[in-house]
Amino acid sequence: MKRLVILGSTGSIGTNCLNVVEAHPDEFEIGYLATHSNVDLLYQQAQRFRPRVVAAVQPPQERDWVTPFTKLGIEYLTGAAALAEIAAAPDVDVVVNAVVGAAGLPATLRALRQGHTVALANKETLVVAGELVTAEAVKNDGLLIPIDSEHSALWQCLVGEARHRIETLILTASGGPFRQRPKEEFAKITVAEALNHPNWTMGRKITIDSATLMNKGLEVIEAHWLFAVPVDRLRVLIHPQSIIHSMVEFVDGSIKAQLGVPDMRLPIQYALTYPDRLPNQFPRMDFAFSRRLDFYEPDFEKFVCLRLAYEALREGGTAPAVLNAANEEAVQAFLREAIRFDQIPHLVDRALQQHQNHRQADFDDVLAADRWARGFVRQRITN
């Protein structure tokens, strides 16, 4: 039986992860759960799964939660440091990192330094500090297993394959809700429209990233570090049906693809059971009713965020950290209607242009770049 830590247990990935655990009670045990601020749901999860410890990064102040958790026999931690603390717990087998944004980086590093397996849904960890994170994994015999459907697809296609035989990694993208919307109308896009993804149900931040295609750009950077493939051999294709989740083209011209209905529980379960597979009751593909699989090249002029992600990866150093931090601030500003949808890539672009890149970056450089980019974007929005 595998004992799990789930960071971000109250989000979409976290709740789906618990659904997988609930379906396989003889395979998994929940040792630790953590949320950002949704302590009400965390308490419900604690009642069901009885972890040893729970944590809340920013719990609401109007209620004291220590007593309710204590009555359950569960230790209750608070503060940002709690994530890293439970990620490094010695009595766990897999740490699921489903924290949103760069805040998930310290916990990933602590888990890898402990030699844990990290099931990673927090792509920002590798975007911000991919070189540092992968080095920690190698140094401490830790293992990074992707949860993102696209990277899980690549991971599955590469089982049993030599990495040096990869020609191209092809990440598919649905194209989001604005694939056919003219660029001239982007300034009029509302928050509600941007949150209406055609294929996936996800958190607010990642849904906006999918609408700008920044999410795919972040995935390109993540794939570079996960699979050690140069940027010029990382390709994005728009695939509106979201049936083929990604593909690998090998040096002999053969292509492997991983297919399935859009359901995040499948890559989650694979990450938790790797290298094994377990049966489930998830919806199955029926090719008799899936008659179309369409593909298009992405429009880099319309979806500027995707182009900026490629440029930041080529630039290297602290540029990806600036890309990610600037984007996080811009997306939050859009969600609170402080800026327009079309201003998100503009702010990210300005931050990248103004940043003094540190090409040989250490952890402090990365954190400094992250802070600088956030301050830069906030000031631009204020002004």
Residues sharing a CB contact under 8 Å with residue 258, sequence separation 6 or more, in sequence order: 152, 153, 154, 156, 157, 244, 245, 246, 247
77 within some domain: yes
269 within some domain: no
pLDDT at 101: 77
35 within some domain: yes
For tokens 């109250």, name the residue. 10
Rounded to a whole number, what is the distance in angstroms from the first to the last CA of the chain? 55
- Do 88 and 198 reside in the same domain of the chain? no
Phi first, then psi: give them for residue 247, nearest 5 degrees.
Answer: -140, 155
- Give me the torsion for CA of 263, 264, 268, 274, rounded to 10°: 50
139 within some domain: yes
- Do 226 and 334 reside in the same domain of the chain? yes
Helix (H, G, I), strand (E, B) or coil at 183: helix
Helix (H, G, I), strand (E, B) or coil at 169: strand
For tokens 């659904």, name the residue. 19
CB atoms within 10 A of CB 181: 15
Whether 231 has a pLDDT exceeding 80, the answer reads yes
- Do 204 and 141 reside in the same domain of the chain? no
- Do 121 and 205 reside in the same domain of the chain? no
Q: Domain span at residue 194?
A: 152-261+296-382
- Do 95 and 181 reside in the same domain of the chain? no
Domains of the chain: total: 2
pLDDT at 383: 84
End-of-domain residue from the set 146, 167, 194: 146
Q: Is residue 352 very low, low, confident or very high in pLDDT (cuts 50, 70, 90)?
A: very high
CA 171 to chain centre: 14
- Do 32 and 132 reside in the same domain of the chain? yes
pLDDT at 296: 96
pLDDT tens string 97-133:
999 877 888 999 999 999 999 999 988 889 999 999 9
Q: Is residue 247 very low, low, confident or very high in pLDDT (cuts 50, 70, 90)?
A: very high
The pairing of strands 244-250 and 255-259 is antiparallel
Phi first, then psi: give them for residue 288, nearest 5 degrees.
Answer: -65, -25
Q: Are 221 and 131 in contact (CB under 8 A)?
A: no
CA quadruple 19, 20, 24, 29: dihedral positive or negative?
A: negative
Residue in 333, 336, 326 with CA at minimum distance from that of residue 374: 326
pLDDT tens string 286-329:
888 767 899 999 999 999 999 999 999 999 999 999 999 999 99
- Do 141 and 156 reside in the same domain of the chain? no
- Do 79 and 171 reside in the same domain of the chain? no
Whether 73 has a pLDDT exceeding 90, the answer reads yes
End-of-domain residue from the set 112, 146, 180: 146
276 within some domain: no
Specify the pTM: 0.92
For tokens 């944590």, name the residue. 55
Q: What is the CATH number of the domain that holds 173?
A: 1.10.1740.10
Q: Is residue 35 very low, low, confident or very high in pLDDT (cuts 50, 70, 90)?
A: very high
Q: Is residue 61 very low, low, confident or very high in pLDDT (cuts 50, 70, 90)?
A: confident
- Do 42 and 156 reside in the same domain of the chain? no
Whether 194 has a pLDDT exceeding 90, the answer reads yes
Residue in 226, 22, 24 with CA at minimum distance from that of residue 123: 226
pLDDT at 263: 92
Cβ-based burial of 258 (10 A; exposed 0-12, middle 13-18, buried ≥19): buried
Strand order across the 166-173 sheet: 234-238, 166-173, 244-250, 255-259
- Do 188 and 52 reside in the same domain of the chain? no
311 within some domain: yes
- Do 184 and 333 reside in the same domain of the chain? yes
DSSP annotation string for 327-370: HHHHHHHHHTTSS-TTHHHHHHHHHHHH----SS--HHHHHHHH
135 within some domain: yes
Q: Is residue 183 very low, low, confident or very high in pLDDT (cuts 50, 70, 90)?
A: very high
- Do 205 and 336 reside in the same domain of the chain? yes
End-of-domain residue from the set 127, 146, 165: 146
